[in-house]
Every structure is written in C-alpha cells, then in structure tokens.
Amino acid sequence: MPLIMNIEDIDSLDGLAPRACELCRRKDKVFRCSACLAVYYCGRDCQVQDREDHKIPCKLLRKAHKRYREEEQKLREWQEDLDTPENVFEEHAGRFWRIMGTRPYMVARFDLAHIMNDSYGTPGGPRDLVQDMLDHYLDMLRLSRSDGLGVREIIPALYVRLGRDQDAYDFLRWYADVNENPDYDWGNMSLPFVDTKNADALEEPLQRAWTAKSYLDLSHAVTLLLVKVRILLDLQTVQNTTTALGGTFPPEIIGLIDGKLVRRDTLLRHQSLLSRPEKLEPLMKKIKSQIREVYKAVGEYNPHFWNLMVNNPDACVLQRPQLDGYAQRSEEEALFILDYTFAAWYETPGAVKMLRDLAKS
C-alpha cells in the first residue's frame, strides 16, 4: 500500500482524486483496467509505462475479484443442506452470517475490499475506488445485519472521505441509539435498520456512545470527532470571510455558502445560523468544546491512538497486527482503527493540525 511518508506534499491533500489516468492524470477519455477494476488509463502508452508499478496490485486485485465471483456463483447455485438453504440472496438477506455456508462468500468480499484499500486506498486516492469499497461494505451489512466481520467500523470514515458527512453522522447516531436498546432483534428483518436521516451533527456528543469511560466504540468516536472538526473548519472559513467583509454578509456572499464556503452537508441545513455573523462565535465555541470532550475521551480510552495518528500514521501498514482480534485499549486496537480512519483525517486540510494543537492544550 502507498504510504503517507511517500506523498511529496501531504499538506496539499484536499479530498480524493477524481477519475484520471493513473500515470499522466489526464481526466477525459480514460478507461478502466479490466483486470483490477481499480485504476484508469488514457491509453495503452500510459498503461505500458505504468506496468512495473501496477503489476503487483493488479495481480492481487485480479485474484481477489476472481475469488469473490467464484464464491458468489457457488452460493447462488447452492443445493440446500442442513447448514445452508437455497436462494439465500433472495430469501435470507440480513441473516447471512448466521448461515454457515455464506461465510466463504462474505470473507472473500471483505478481503476484496481490504485489498482495494491496501493497493490504492492511501489518502488522496481515487474517488471511484473508495466508492467501490463503500458499496461493498454497505451491501455486506445489508446481507448480514449482525456484521460478523465488523464492517460497521469501516463505513463511517469512507462516508467522510466521499464528502458525505451527514450520512456518516446518521450512521454513527443509529448505532449509538440501537446499542442502547437491549431488545433490538438483529434477526428480525421487519425492524428498521440504519435508517436514521438528518440527525443534528451540531448536538452534544452522546456520552454513552462517544465519551464513555468504561467502553468506547473507538472507530465511531474517532470518526465522530472528525465530523465535528470538519464542521469547525467550515465555521472558521465562514468567520474569516465575515471578518474580511467587515462583519456583514451581502446576499451574494450568502449564496456562496452552499458548496463553496461550506463544504460539509452537516452544516447546510443550518444556513440560517451561518448567514447571521452574531451566531457564529457561540456556535464555534460550542463545537470546540465538543471536540475537546471527544478528543480527551479517545485519548483516555486508548493512549496509543492520537500519537499514532499524528506522528506515525503509516504504522497501521508497517506494523499491522494479525486479523485475529485485539485487546481493548491496546496498541493493536489503535493500529486497526487507525487503518480504518487515518485517510479521512489526512484528506481534510487542517484536521491533523487541529489534533496537534489539541495535544498542546
């Protein structure tokens, strides 16, 4: 996997790369590598020139795609036995992990998405690839609500990488709420599932889910903090613009808020606040307080995490532990969650600097 240490100008990262030729970065008239389905080229010349760098990840992805397709075909053609019924895709979506015969398929699909990330998922990587990863994980969650492979830990940061902060927050909020409901039946397909919409990302962090001292869902807390940091960065941009305009917001500037000054969809539903300069300072103070609270909770829960995120993000690749579980609060836990979340942080200009400032305060 490409490493952060090899990115020439890490501070220049701002989101994901658009679809473009892997070698010359041309954006028009590009075609997808038919073997790995991960990168694009503008023509054979660039594809040949890039072959030396591309051949290893291409081979790994080609094998992973082949295994995934084969396992899917076997499962679709399955003859019913004591462990696995027929027509599982049509009749048993949501319960896959409870059916033993589906597990080779689920593991093959998980491994495919994992190899995608290892090959081209570094910060600033291809948007199409991250979207493909998210699509795989979301469909795996649809097929297996009980989530035996833990894809719910990976999904929120992928939403953020794609600029879908509101979807990330809705996902986090749904799990925070359902985890408080001991009567929720994961095997009952008639119950609502990950259906929270337009939850208020400006609200106070839920203590039971994101700032608890006894147990913390580390991946969700780290991504929740990033959502808050991205909100604050947008608010600072709006405040700086207000200051430059002498403390007023002409109508034509208010029109720029949507998608220009404010890029996070978590804030667009609060435009009435953004268009009133007197509301900005109290709102920023509130979000800063929330950020400090979650940052402190994460640091107290796992003392390894923030040091790795800021000073050694490549450790999640270079020191990756085996996929056989980890102890809570351990360095191994920190490395796993770092792998799921660090790209979203480094693709957000100003986010890692904010972490450094928090460490000094």
303-320 pLDDT tens trace: 999 999 999 999 998 888
pLDDT at 261: 56
144-198 pLDDT tens trace: 999 999 999 999 999 999 999 999 999 999 999 999 899 999 999 999 999 999 9
Q: In the chain, which residues have pLDDT < 70?
A: 1-2, 242-263, 268-269, 271-275, 323-324
320-342 pLDDT tens trace: 877 667 889 999 999 999 999 99
pLDDT at 286: 96
pLDDT at 346: 96
pLDDT at 245: 62
Three-state SS across the chain? CCCHHHCCCHHHCCCCECCCECCCCCCCCCEECCCCCCCEECCHHHHHHCHHHHHHHHHHHHHHHHHHHHHHHHHHCCCCCCCCCCCHHHHCCEEHHHCHHHHHHHHHHHHHHHHHHHHHCCCCCEHHHHHHHHHHHHHHHHHECCCCCCHHHCHHHHHHHCCCHHHHHHHHHHHHHHCCCCCCCCCCCCCCCCCCCCCCCCCCCCHHHHCCCCCCCHHHHHHHHHHHHHHHHHHHHHHHHHHHCCCCCCHHHHHHHECCCECCHHHHCCHHHHCCHHHHHHHHHHHHHHHHHHHHHHHHHCCCHHHHHHHCCCHHHHCCCCCCCCCCCCHHHHHHHHHHHHHHHHCCCCHHHHHHHHHHC
pLDDT at 212: 85
pLDDT at 208: 86
pLDDT at 326: 83
pLDDT at 21: 97
